[in-house]
Amino acid sequence: MLQELLGRIELPPEQEIPGEKAEADGAVTEWTIPNTAITIAIVDVGPREGEFLFSADTVQRLHRFYESVKELPPKPGAVVGLYDQWLGTDTGPLALEEEVRNRLRPVDTSSPRSTMEGFLDSVNRAYVLVTEADAALRATPPTLTRQEAREI
């Protein structure tokens, strides 16, 4: 959902997103995408202490944010339709979520910029895997079994 949302809203130029220097200076503890309520904040306690992650409030309200922008035209090159496609799979979203999560690399969460870049990279790589598996399953005859597709 977040990928779909980010593919439809205006993001600031990369140089305006706080990077490692701002984080190292201690000047930034959270950053909100301009004109949105999507916030990346530093975690204060727990196993991910010191990492920049999308805030709990952002994650909790993500569906509402998505609903408000899903009819906007996507930006050029944006990956859209993935969320609806994911919901429509016959193995169920929770099973697929776990499989995809197990294939993604850890994200550098040392700054808002690296968190955003890591998230987008992970989703784009996951999309490529899903698209390749889907094409193989839809081929005539299919070039993969469903089990082989899940193992990609």
* Domain spans in the chain, listed from the N-terminal domain onward: 2-150
Task: State yes or no: pLDDT of 91 exceeds 60.
Answer: no
Percent of the chain with pLDDT over 70: 85
Quickly state the pLDDT bin for 100 (edges 50, 70, 90). Answer: low
Q: What is the pTM of this model?
A: 0.61
- What pLDDT digit, counting tens, does each position of 124-138 carry? 888 888 888 888 888
- Give the pLDDT score at 20: 80
Quickly state the pLDDT bin for 58 (edges 50, 70, 90). Answer: very high
Other Cβ atoms within 10 Å of 126 Cβ, number: 20
> Lowest-pLDDT range, 75-84, 86-95, 114-123?
86-95
- Give the pLDDT score at 37: 92
CA distances from 21 to 87, 131, 134 (A): 39, 37, 41
> Lowest-pLDDT range, 47-56, 62-71, 90-99, 125-134?
90-99
Taking alpha carbons only, the member of 80, 82, 122 closest to residue 100 is: 122
- Give the pLDDT score at 147: 81
Task: State yes or no: pLDDT of 64 exceeds 70.
Answer: yes
Task: State yes or no: pLDDT of 96 exceeds 80.
Answer: no
Taking alpha carbons only, the member of 44, 45, 37, 47 closest to residue 2 is: 37
CA distance 51 to 36: 21
